[in-house]
Amino acid sequence: MAANDTRERTDDLLPEWIDPDGVPVSCIEKIKVLNENIVEIREMCREALEDAVLMGCDERQIRAVLLEMVRTLQEPFKD
């Protein structure tokens, strides 16, 4: 698979970033940072999934652990 094919598929997974009022984020630099973060997180999760399966763990369990980790993240700047 060519590098462009991978990039195009990754781009399809990136959301349109919105602010708390539902207004799309328009700052190119903010969007770039958010997209880079998502791509990096996705790659790390993929590697963790691959490692777990290669070490004999149940794929469903590692997926559940990753989902629970995201679900239980504490709200930033709550105060």
What tens digit of pLDDT does each residue of 38-51 get? 999 999 999 999 99
Tally of domains within the chain = 1
Question: Distance between CA 13 and CA 63 in Å, rounded?
Answer: 18
Q: Looking at residue 2, what is its pLDDT?
A: 52
78 in a domain, yes or no? no
Residue 10 lies in a domain: yes
Please identify every stretch of the chain with a pLDDT value under 70, giving residue numbers as ranges: 1-11, 79
Can you give the residue range of the structural domain that contains 49? 3-71
Show the tokens assigned to 44: 């790390």
CB 46 within 8 A of CB 54: no
Output the CA–CA distances (angstroms, integers) from residue 78 to 5, 10, 31, 67, 73, in the order listed.
40, 31, 23, 22, 12
Tokens 């993240």: give the residue. 73
